[in-house]
């Protein structure tokens, strides 16, 4: 899967540049992207795009430009970490949240933005102006929509689906579970077979004759794209109760694979990033 450079850069900041006041020098970002196989010109173009969108804030330290994340994005990362690494799963006893919205035709672009935001937070669509989501997603959804200036178009209600025996069939209409399960399957096809190879390589690294730092740089080049791909799943996936989900649902196996690779590779990737950063992070 080809990942957008902007998504990779956001992942790098989430990993190594989200502490308050911290920044990454352009030279380090270029080196990090180089380790991912991306050329310097493309890297600088990516930085420029995120700067124009005010995701990155420019500052100068000495003769070198540094960039830090905007405070809004830093706050979002802090809220997102738990959902990415340890998402909570609803139970059949939990209520659902109905988000009922109406946007004037003259503001149809806001309607599209609202639907997109709800979908990215794990809400499914019941009908044109009604979205449904797990209660666990409510606070983050409300906060995100408030920040986007979309709250004036939406009302929220806590709900129970009364004919409980039908809900498994209904959720497959409200969410595109088939497409989501295929995405989990694609993730597994890319990564599950690599887990054993990385375990063996790391176990035998002390006896290896490969040059110093190669293991760390290759772990970095593998880990950052893998995490970038995974970051989207906790938002596409509403984490519904297992009894509502199709037989053979791939999410648990995909999550197990991700967490195992994360545990193996994140320390090595961080070691490589710290080598690049050195004393240049402000």
The pLDDT of residue 42 is 93
The pLDDT of residue 219 is 96
If asked whether residues 136 and 205 sit together in one domain, one would say: no
Please indicate, yes or no, if residue 265 is contained in any of the structural domains.
Answer: yes
Please indicate, yes or no, if residue 166 is contained in any of the structural domains.
Answer: no
If asked whether residues 180 and 149 sit together in one domain, one would say: no
* Domain CATH code at residue 151: 3.30.70
The pLDDT of residue 281 is 43
If asked whether residues 146 and 217 sit together in one domain, one would say: no
Domain that holds residue 231: 176-277
Q: How many structural domains comprise the chain? A: 3
If asked whether residues 152 and 181 sit together in one domain, one would say: no
If asked whether residues 267 and 182 sit together in one domain, one would say: yes
The pLDDT of residue 89 is 82
If asked whether residues 152 and 186 sit together in one domain, one would say: no
Sequence-distant (≥ 6) Cβ neighbours of residue 282 within 8 angstroms: 21, 22, 23, 59, 61, 66
The model carries a pTM of 0.85
The pLDDT of residue 161 is 80
If asked whether residues 68 and 115 sit together in one domain, one would say: no
* Domain CATH code at residue 33: 1.10.10.10
Please indicate, yes or no, if residue 164 is contained in any of the structural domains.
Answer: no
The pair phi, psi for residue 64, each rounded to 5°, is -120, 140
Q: Collect the ranges in the chain with pLDDT lower than 70.
A: 1-3, 18-21, 61-62, 74-83, 86-87, 164-165, 208, 212, 279-282
Which has the closest alpha carbon to 235: 189, 185, 180, 191? Answer: 180
Please indicate, yes or no, if residue 208 is contained in any of the structural domains.
Answer: yes
Please indicate, yes or no, if residue 167 is contained in any of the structural domains.
Answer: no
- If you write DSSP's letter for every residue of the chain in order, what string do you get? -PPPHHHHHHHHHHHHS-STT--EEHHHHHHHHHHTT--HHHHHHHHHHHHHTTSEEEEEETTEEEEEE-HHHHHHHHHHHHHHHS-----TTSPEEEEEE---GGGHHHHHHHHHHHHHTT-EEEETTEEEEEGGGHHHHHHHHHHTT-GGGEEEEEE--SSGGGHHHHHHHHS-HHHHHHHHHHHHHHHHHHHHHHHHHHHTGGG--SPTTHHHHHHHHHHHHHHHHHTTHHHH-----GGGSPTT-SHHHHHHHHHHHHHHHHHHHHHHHHHHHTT---
């Amino acid at each position: 899967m080809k990942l957008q450079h902007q998504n990779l850069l956001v992942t790098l900041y989430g990993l190594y540049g989200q502490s308050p006041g911290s920044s990454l020098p352009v030279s380090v970002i270029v080196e990090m992207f180089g380790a991912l196989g991306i050329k310097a010109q493309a890297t600088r173009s990516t930085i420029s795009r995120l700067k124009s969108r005010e995701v990155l804030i420019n500052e100068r330290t000495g003769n070198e430009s540094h960039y830090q994340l905007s405070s809004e994005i830093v706050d979002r990362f802090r809220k997102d970490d738990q959902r990415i690494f340890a998402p909570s799963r609803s139970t059949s006893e939990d209520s659902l949240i109905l988000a009922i919205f109406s946007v004037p035709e003259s503001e149809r672009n806001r309607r599209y933005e609202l639907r997109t935001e709800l979908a990215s937070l794990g809400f499914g669509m019941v009908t044109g102006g009604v979205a449904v989501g797990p209660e666990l997603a409510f606070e983050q959804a409300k906060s995100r929509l408030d920040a986007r200036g979309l709250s004036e178009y939406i009302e929220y209600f806590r709900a129970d689906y009364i004919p409980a025996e039908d809900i498994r069939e209904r959720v497959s209409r409200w969410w595109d579970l088939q497409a989501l399960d295929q995405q989990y399957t694609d993730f597994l096809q890319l990564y599950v077979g690599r887990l054993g190879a990385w375990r063996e390589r790391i176990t035998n690294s002390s006896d290896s004759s490969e040059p110093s730092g190669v293991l760390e740089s290759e772990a970095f080049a593998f880990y950052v794209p893998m995490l970038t791909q995974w970051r989207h799943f906790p938002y596409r996936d509403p984490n519904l109760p297992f009894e509502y989900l199709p037989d053979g649902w791939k999410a648990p196996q995909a999550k197990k694979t991700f967490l195992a690779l994360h545990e193996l590779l994140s320390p090595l990737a961080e070691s490589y990033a710290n080598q690049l950063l050195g004393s240049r992070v402000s």
